[in-house]
A and B are shown apart, each in its own frame.
Chain A
Amino acid sequence: MEEKGRIGIPKTLMFYRYFPLWKVFFEELGWRVIVSDGLGKRGKLVYFEDSCLPMKLLVTHSIDLKEKVDHLFVPRLVSLHRSYIMCPKFRGAPDIVHLAMEGTVSILDETIDLRVREYSMLRSFLKTGKQLGADEKEGKRAFQKAERFFFNFQKGWEDRINELPLKQVFHLETPALPKSEEKPFRVAFIGHPYNLFDTDVNKDILSFAKSLGMRIITPDALSEKEIDAQVSDLSKEIYWSSGREIVGSLFHFLSGGVDGVVFLTSFKCGIDALLQEFIRRRLKLKGGTSIPLLLLSLDEHSGREGLTTRLEAFRDVMEERKTKE
């Protein structure tokens, strides 16, 4: 099929979960997908006002793409769950990009709000498809194919994240390597996907964890039911979907099945700040945890050394606990 043009996807935010779906959808409609590069060690971050790091990265990556593409894909993510909402910054994300681009590039910014039928994932993508000149039938077919691909991709997630270098996890053409030898520790890494899997944010801490003998489990491995089981008895609902996922999976993993739990938080994130305090209080009520828990705080200024020292010590804690058993 002839290439209709290029769609740019900034490698930030929910890219780190939905990229496989997005990519297949656009490619099925005959568009080429271009992904922004990482920041690298010396990358220049674009600063604007007093924003959180993920939003600064969104702007930085978008600027990187603007000359190379016909459209930028920055969906307005209001909700990705039938009752929980995203952080309000996601709602404004396309507007932030629009301002930063000064209107120089077209932005595909259809709303996704799974609480409302009108803004379901399918309908949102049909609208996006229409903007790209695809009729409903073509759009539907492309979306179904994308969705199938996404589900299969998710099934292979745990192997991909453990067997591939982190930078290649979202290279969809690269197959996951066959499982290597058993690792001595199973460790759950919890946090927003764009903190967990963006090596510019986390200084590639997951690769370091793997080199310390940890097999990584992420909340992606849990079903909605397993997550809900841990948040259903809360006195007050957590209304952010990321909060629900983080708290639900954290307490799920702390109830067993792993040797340790690491919660990667972002220094400037309001949701994380509240969740940390919330988790502390809930742990206190539960009388602590028998499974080691580590809170790692990430910010754009921290070096890698602080993270590695803590992770090394955490490995020692898990090891001691294992030898004692």
Chain B
Amino acid sequence: MYLGIDVGSITTKMVVINEGDEILAEVYLRNNGRPLEAIQHGLESISSRLDGKTSIDGAATTGSARHLAAYLVGADLVKNEITAHSIAVIDLFPDAKTIFEIGGQDSKVIVLRTGVVVDFAMNTVCAAGTGSFLDQQAARLGISIEEFGRLALKAKQPVRVAGRCTVFAETDMIHKQQIGHSVEDIIGGLCDSLVKNYLNNVCRGKEILSPIVFQGGVAANQGIRKALEKELETDLIIPEHFGLMGAMGAAKLVRRAKPVRTQFKGFELSRKSCSTRGFECGECGNQCEVIELLIDREVVACWGDLCEKYRKSSGPITG
């Protein structure tokens, strides 16, 4: 069995698959700003779902905290999230030509042709239109993020909201609310403008062809999905496990890599004390911020040093 872990900026996702790529256990939880704890909780609930009859033959990590996660759990493979997401899609939808992936802080577009990634882009300096902004706006309106999507569908006359920048969007939305527009129309308008921002910034210059697969946490948001479909005048494919695709991709990659002996430290990790501590190295002008990972008060890994002086652990395979 193979374990795929995707530690994003807002959520942590894990899946365990068998040789036939069937999902045996899955987990989706919020990090609450503490990725180490989230990974430990994730491992705990995965292990309880597998009823203890688990032997992991390989583990892989992806997502923006993939290196941290890899040091912690002992991963056999570390993969960037673009490749991980596309691997998961190519197997499920061999004809897919485009992947939209919108997560907590990142949004990306991946262009596929005949089952191969030929181009991709990620949002750059701005996180407008990603999950955390939607979260924040839902919280401001006092509604759950699940309700947010449903309300957007009820918009009769979506208002125009500046979607270029989240700061401007918020100002604009407050203005619309104060002159009397309904919550539904404002949310509907926000979805429309975020979609336009995504298509004009992240997807700019990319050839967007159908079939399009839409995944990542934001794919759960009906309002965004509808707005994308309206703007592109085409239906989107939303995979059953739209939120777990990165973890799925990682698990598949490590299954294919077939590690001879896995580095995985086991599910007991969830019961150990795990922490990190940082210090600044003053040896040279780089002034690297070095991070040490401690498991049961013992330093097991170290990174962040450009010269690799402190990096005594053998470390996982990168790539």
B80–A313 touching, CB < 8 Å: yes
- Could you say which of B64, B285, B289 contacts A305, with CB atoms under 8 Å apart? B64
Q: Hey, which chain A residues are within 8 Å of B314, CB to CB?
A: none
- Could you say which of B118, B122, B207, B319 contacts A310, with CB atoms under 8 Å apart? B122
B81–A309 touching, CB < 8 Å: yes
CA distance A16 to B289 in the complex (A): 27
Q: Hey, which chain B residues are within 8 Å of A141, CB to CB?
A: none
Q: Hey, which chain B residues are within 8 Å of A4, CB to CB?
A: none
The answer to the question of A301 belonging to the interface, with a C-beta cut-off of 8 Å to chain B, is yes
CA distance A33 to B80 in the complex (A): 44
B246-290, CB under 8 A of A: which get 1 and which 0?
000000000000000000000000000000000000000111110
A100-119, CB under 8 A of B: which get 1 and which 0?
00000000000000000000
Nearest residue (CB) in A for B120 is A313
CA distance A204 to B306 in the complex (A): 10
B81–A324 touching, CB < 8 Å: no
Q: Hey, which chain A residues are within 8 Å of B64, CB to CB?
A: 305, 309
Question: In angstroms, how far is the closest chain B Cβ from the Cβ of A82?
Answer: 33
Nearest residue (CB) in A for B62 is A309
Query: A276-318: which residues lie under 8 A (CB-CB) from chain B?
Result: 280, 283-284, 288, 292-293, 295, 297, 299, 301-302, 305-306, 309-310, 312-313, 315-317
Interface centre among A204, A297, A310 (most CB of B within 10 A): A310
The answer to the question of A267 belonging to the interface, with a C-beta cut-off of 8 Å to chain B, is yes
Nearest residue (CB) in B for A314 is B120
Tell me whether A316 and B80 are in contact in the complex, defined as CB-CB below 8 angstroms, given that A280-B204, A309-B64 are known contacts.
Answer: yes
Q: Hey, which chain A residues are within 8 Å of B120, CB to CB?
A: 310, 313, 317
A297–B83 touching, CB < 8 Å: no
- Could you say which of A40, A301, A310, A315 contacts B125, with CB atoms under 8 Å apart? A301
Interface centre among B82, B124, B125, B207 (most CB of A within 10 A): B124
- Could you say which of A42, A295, A316 contacts B287, with CB atoms under 8 Å apart? A42
Question: In angstroms, how far is the closest chain B Cβ from the Cβ of A156?
Answer: 25
The answer to the question of B117 belonging to the interface, with a C-beta cut-off of 8 Å to chain A, is yes
The answer to the question of A37 belonging to the interface, with a C-beta cut-off of 8 Å to chain B, is yes
CA distance A309 to B64 in the complex (A): 8
Nearest residue (CB) in A for B110 is A313
Nearest residue (CB) in A for B85 is A313
B83–A41 touching, CB < 8 Å: no
Question: In angstroms, how far is the closest chain B Cβ from the Cβ of A186?
Answer: 18
The answer to the question of A181 belonging to the interface, with a C-beta cut-off of 8 Å to chain B, is no
Q: Hey, which chain A residues are within 8 Å of B119, CB to CB?
A: 292-293, 317
Question: In angstroms, how far is the closest chain B Cβ from the Cβ of A282?
Answer: 11
A316–B83 touching, CB < 8 Å: yes
B116–A40 touching, CB < 8 Å: no
Question: In angstroms, how far is the closest chain B Cβ from the Cβ of A200?
Answer: 10
CA distance A38 to B319 in the complex (A): 29
Question: In angstroms, how far is the closest chain A Cβ from the Cβ of B120?
Answer: 6
- Could you say which of B81, B116, B125, B205 contacts A302, with CB atoms under 8 Å apart? B125
Q: Hey, which chain A residues are within 8 Å of B82, CB to CB?
A: 309-310, 312-313, 316
Q: Hey, which chain A residues are within 8 Å of B125, CB to CB?
A: 267, 297, 299, 301-302
CA distance A295 to B60 in the complex (A): 28
Interface size on B, residues (CB 8 A): 25
Nearest residue (CB) in B for A213 is B319
Question: In angstroms, how far is the closest chain B Cβ from the Cβ of A57?
Answer: 15
B116–A309 touching, CB < 8 Å: no
- Could you say which of A40, A297, A309 contacts B80, with CB atoms under 8 Å apart? A309
Nearest residue (CB) in B for A313 is B82
Q: Hey, which chain B residues are within 8 Å of A288, CB to CB?
A: 207
Nearest residue (CB) in B for A317 is B117
Question: In angstroms, how far is the closest chain A Cβ from the Cβ of B119?
Answer: 7
Q: Hey, which chain A residues are within 8 Å of B285, CB to CB?
A: 37-38, 40
- Could you say which of A38, A42, A297, A320 contacts B116, with CB atoms under 8 Å apart? A320
A68-88, CB under 8 A of B: which get 1 and which 0?
000000000000000000000
A41–B117 touching, CB < 8 Å: no
Interface centre among A284, A292, A313 (most CB of B within 10 A): A313
Tell me whether A297 and B124 are in contact in the complex, defined as CB-CB below 8 angstroms, given that A37-B285, A313-B82, A317-B118 are known contacts.
Answer: yes
A309–B207 touching, CB < 8 Å: no
B287–A41 touching, CB < 8 Å: yes
The answer to the question of A321 belonging to the interface, with a C-beta cut-off of 8 Å to chain B, is yes
Question: In angstroms, how far is the closest chain A Cβ from the Cβ of B37?
Answer: 21
Question: In angstroms, how far is the closest chain B Cβ from the Cβ of A316?
Answer: 4
Q: Hey, which chain A residues are within 8 Å of B124, CB to CB?
A: 267, 297, 302, 306
Query: B108-134: which residues lie under 8 A (CB-CB) from chain A?
Result: 116-122, 124-125
Q: Hey, which chain A residues are within 8 Å of B306, CB to CB?
A: 204
Tell me whether A292 and B205 are in contact in the complex, defined as CB-CB below 8 angstroms, given that A42-B287, A313-B83 are known contacts.
Answer: no
CA distance A73 to B227 in the complex (A): 56
- Could you say which of B117, B122, B207 contacts A320, with CB atoms under 8 Å apart? B117
CA distance A288 to B207 in the complex (A): 9
Since A292-B118, A297-B125 are in contact, a sample of 9 more A-B pairs with Cβ atoms closer than 8 Å, ordered by chain A residue number, is A37-B285, A38-B285, A267-B125, A284-B205, A301-B125, A305-B64, A312-B83, A316-B80, A316-B83
A residues in contact (CB < 8 Å) with B = 37-38, 40-42, 204, 212, 267, 280, 283-284, 288, 292-293, 295, 297, 299, 301-302, 305-306, 309-310, 312-313, 315-317, 320-321, 324
